[in-house]
Structure 1
Amino acid sequence: MDSVSLVGLAEALNAAWGPDTCAPEDVKDWSEANRARGQCATTAVVVHDYFGGDLVRGEVHVRGERVDFHWWNRLPDGSEIDLTREQFSLQEKVIGGVYLPRPLGWTRLDREYSLLADRVATHLGLAVGVED
C-alpha cells in the first residue's frame, strides 16, 4: 500500500462514493452534487487503512446545537486530512475534535465501509478480498 498516494486515494474515494456507501441517516441528503455527504466515517476508516494515523471525530453544530458528528484523519506525520469536509453547508459548523481508536468488531456502518473499501481498491487496481 506504500505506492498509493493521498491524491490517488482521494480520487478513488470520490469515484467510489454513492448513496449505498453513505451513512443511512444521510442518504436522503446525498446527491451527485454533494457526493461527500454522509461519507465521513467510512472514508476516514479507508484513509486509515492506507495511511494509518489517528481517527478524529468532531461535532457538527447548526445554530449552536449539535446535530451530528464528523470524522477525519490525523496522519502519522501530524497533518490532518479531511476528504469530506465539503459536504457541509455554511450553516453547519464542525466543532472540536477528539482522537478515537479504530472501531473493533461490528459497527453499524460495516456494510457501507465494505462497499467503499472494495470500490477504492478496485479503482486503485489493487486485489480485493485477498488474505496475506
Structure 2
Amino acid sequence: MSSPPRAAPPVPAPPALVEVSAAVRASWALDTCDDADVADWTPERPSRGQCGSTALVLHDLFGGELLLAEVWYPDGRLQGYHWWNRLPGGREVDLTADQFRTGETVQPPRAVARPDGPPRRCRDQYERLRARVLSRLAAG
C-alpha cells in the first residue's frame, strides 16, 4: 500500500519592503561602501556609496529591474553612477536617494539587465551587506 503524496512545504512569503528597508539601513557601514565613495562616507550619511550593493540585495529579494543613471556635479562633470530598483508591478524603490549632496543631479534612469554571477565591482561589499540583511531578516 502506497502512502499518500506529501504536500510540498509552504513557500515562505517574501519579506515586506518595510522590513527589508529597515534591515538594509541598519546594515550599511563603511565596509559596505563602494570604494569610490569611502572618503565621503560618514555615519551621518550612511547611504553614501551603498546604492549598487543595496540595489542588488533588493533585486535578490524581490526581482524586478535594476535602474542605472548618471549623476552630475553642478559644473557639468560626471560624479558617478546611481543604482536603484523597479519592483515587479512598476514601483521604484531607491533606499539610497538621500546620499547625494546639494547640486549633485541624478539623471533619468535606464533599466539594466543583471549579469550572471557575482558583481565585478564591490563584490565583497555586496556579499557583506547581503549577509547582514539576511541575518537581520532571519532574526526578525
* Higher Rg of the two aligned structures: 2
CA RMSD of aligned residues (A): 1.2
Structure 1 unaligned segments of length 5 or more: list them: 127-132
1:6 — aligned with what? 17
Shift >4 Å, 4+ stretches: none
Which range moves more in the overlay, 51-60 or 104-113? 104-113
Q: What secondary structure, in the 3-state scheme, does the structure 1 residue paired with 2:127 have?
A: helix
**Alignment equivalent of 2:111, drawn from 84, 99, 107:** 99
Code of the aligned partner of 1:103: P
In the alignment of these two chains, the number of paired residues is 126
**Alignment equivalent of 2:129, drawn from 92, 116, 120:** 116
Q: How far, CA to CA, are the matches of 1:49 and 1:87 in structure 2?
A: 22
Which structure shows the higher strand fraction?
A: 1
Q: How far, CA to CA, are the matches of 1:103 and 1:2 in structure 2?
A: 26
- Deviation (angstroms), 1:103: 2.8
Q: How far, CA to CA, are the matches of 2:117 and 2:60 in structure 1?
A: 15
Q: Percent identity?
A: 42
2:97 — aligned with what? 85
- Is 2:48 the counterpart of 1:34? no
Q: Deviations over 1:67-87 (max 9, x none)?
A: 100000001101111000000
Structure 2 unaligned segments of length 5 or more: list them: 1-11
Q: TM-score, normalised by structure 2?
A: 0.86
**Equivalent residues in 2 for 1:9-28 (5 A)?**
9-28=20-39
